[in-house]
Amino acid sequence: MRKIIYIGQGSLQSVYYNTRTREALATESSTVSDTEGVISSKKSKWPWVLFFAFVLVAIIGIWIRSLIAPFRLSEWMIPIHIAAILFVFIGSVYGFEKLFYSGVESVVPASEEQFKQAVERSTFWRKSPDKKPTVDKIILYLFVILVLLFCLVIAVFLVIPATFIPYYEHEWFEPSMFMVPIGATIIPISVVLLLFQNNPIRWLLAVRKYEQGKVIFKEEK
């Protein structure tokens, strides 16, 4: 598990929590001008834009090719199929990593106001009716993660291998065939996201520390 976890987005900076030292941290964009902060925020989204643009162009290109000259699937296409699955998985994981942790190498101590603002803007917090990091929420997210891990086993050993069958049976290519491998990668991506990149349980535990007054903030002048 990573030492520094993402808490949320402040007005111009990302806010983090060091689980070992109990320090609240923020990216250095909090100390620069508004214009520079906006530019930095936009840069972190570019990997996502380029990734989805490439995927969309590839899908449309293959679809148009199938309309112009329909073709059957063959065994030699399996490596391309595997590469496509890996590309979607790795590209998504990389995109989330850049989105949440692009500035984590240059963090500075955060104020209590910055930390509080990041918590209140977080999706976890906004979707919580009572705005409390209760034990029942931790148990609920634990259950969700366990279900996803179970689904991951099914996806890896059953669903994804089944997507190779049409290649061995030399079926005609159909655009709908894109949906199964792409859909099957959603589960592994979700597991990586909820376990290692934006773990809701660790987030709730960090907020509990904050409410208990155990989070260390920078000294206010």
Residues 172-216: pLDDT tens digits? 777 777 677 777 788 999 999 999 999 999 999 999 999 999 999
217 within a domain of the structure (yes/no): no
Q: Which of 84, 114, 92, 99 is nearest to 23 (CA)?
A: 114
221 within a domain of the structure (yes/no): no
171 within a domain of the structure (yes/no): yes
**pLDDT value at 171 more than 50:** yes
170 within a domain of the structure (yes/no): yes
Q: In angstroms, what is the C-alpha Rg of the chain?
A: 21
* Total domain count, the chain: 1
- State the Cα torsion 41-42-46-49 to the nearest 10°: 120
pTM (2 decimals)? Answer: 0.78
**pLDDT value at 36 more than 60:** no
pLDDT at 170: 84
186 within a domain of the structure (yes/no): yes
pLDDT at 35: 36
The stretches of the chain forming alpha helices (DSSP H) are 34-43, 46-68, 78-101, 112-121, 123-126, 135-154, 160-162, 165-168, 179-192, 200-211
Buried b (16+ CB within 10 A) or exposed e, 13-44: bbbbbbbeeebbbbbebbeeeeeebeebbeeb
Domain range for residue 142? 4-211
77 within a domain of the structure (yes/no): yes
97 within a domain of the structure (yes/no): yes
